[in-house]
Copies of this chain bind each other. A is one copy, B any other.
């Protein structure tokens, strides 16, 4: 964890324990630091698993193997290494992951495919197998830890620990979700990466758990950006132990399925926002809401073009209601748009409607809105019913300092 905490930080919430899930941490010493850097979470037998991974084609062995392991649908353990991403390390990186899987499988008496591994940190350096083995030996027999400790241990350049919780009623049964995440740059493969873990006691089939996670991902993790750079290791995994003994959810028609899907979505949205709130150099949290697009996906793409525009992000950093830069970003998105139907506002006040600056535009409320930490940009394309909201942070001197002054 960094010494300087993001001005947008949220305190770590009170996360409920999840029956059938036990987190532990230990120090492998992947970097020359005094902190714990290996997180080990075990699951009781019968735990379903689902996951979404980076689309970066130069992904890590952890991502490749994790994607394959999802097929059999169950999980007994999760291992997260912090301080070394093990990416771009060829066969030696793959050997390190397989060693960890074998060591845990032997200890728990499960299959290797039920052990999921993530790594985050510097790239191009194979994960040291001796440190992984010794660190894991300590973790296997460590006392269980709190969610807060686990959330701190998976972090690298993060400036605060991040967690979220939600619950849902399935019939008369309450199911609970606790989740942690790390991430600060949306991506910086040698420094930071987004890794998220969602734990629930719900009884849910792997297929439906995957359906809920994928649906939530589309509207949460896929709708945030810090710097437009996509990590080689991004991973979000969901684990469901079934210990709540609810009537099992097998598909969207199961009673309570909607409530469970909504709770998963809620937790993923909270986690995604926390990553943006810890964006490198961030001083402002920006929500970009796009309506009137030809489809929801088109709205998302326009929103991401705005959220990724350095000129929009620096304008917000400068508290400047520069809607001309928003026009530019809409136009470069490559999605259907019509300059003469385009409307743009900040904080609920329209600056331009239907392709023209408003004659009676009052900049005072907009200027006041932009001085706050939470900024909204509203865009209506006037083309159709598609809508989406995406989230980002401003682009500041802090981002340059973090990324240009760092040496690999």
Contacts and interface: CB of A to CB of B under 8 A. Distances in A.
A123 interface: yes
Interface stretch (A153-161, A201-209, A315-323): A315-323
Chain A contact residues, majority secondary structure: loop
Among A332, A342, A404, the one with the most B-chain Cβ atoms within 10 Å of its Cβ is A404
A231 interface: yes
Interface string A385-408: 000000000111101110111111
A331 B58 contact: yes
Interface residue tally on A, bucketed by range: 35 or more
A311 B185 contact: yes
Among A89, A325, A401, the one with the most B-chain Cβ atoms within 10 Å of its Cβ is A325
Given A59-B339, A190-B325, A320-B406, A355 B314 contact: no
Interface string A120-145: 00111100000000000000000000
Q: How many copies does the complex hold?
A: 2
A406 B328 contact: no
A57 interface: yes
A323 B58 CA distance: 13
A382 B399 CA distance: 33
Contact of A324 (B190, B327, B328, B401): B190
A394 to B, nearest CB: 8
A76 B337 CA distance: 34
A83 B228 CA distance: 31
Nearest to A322: B408
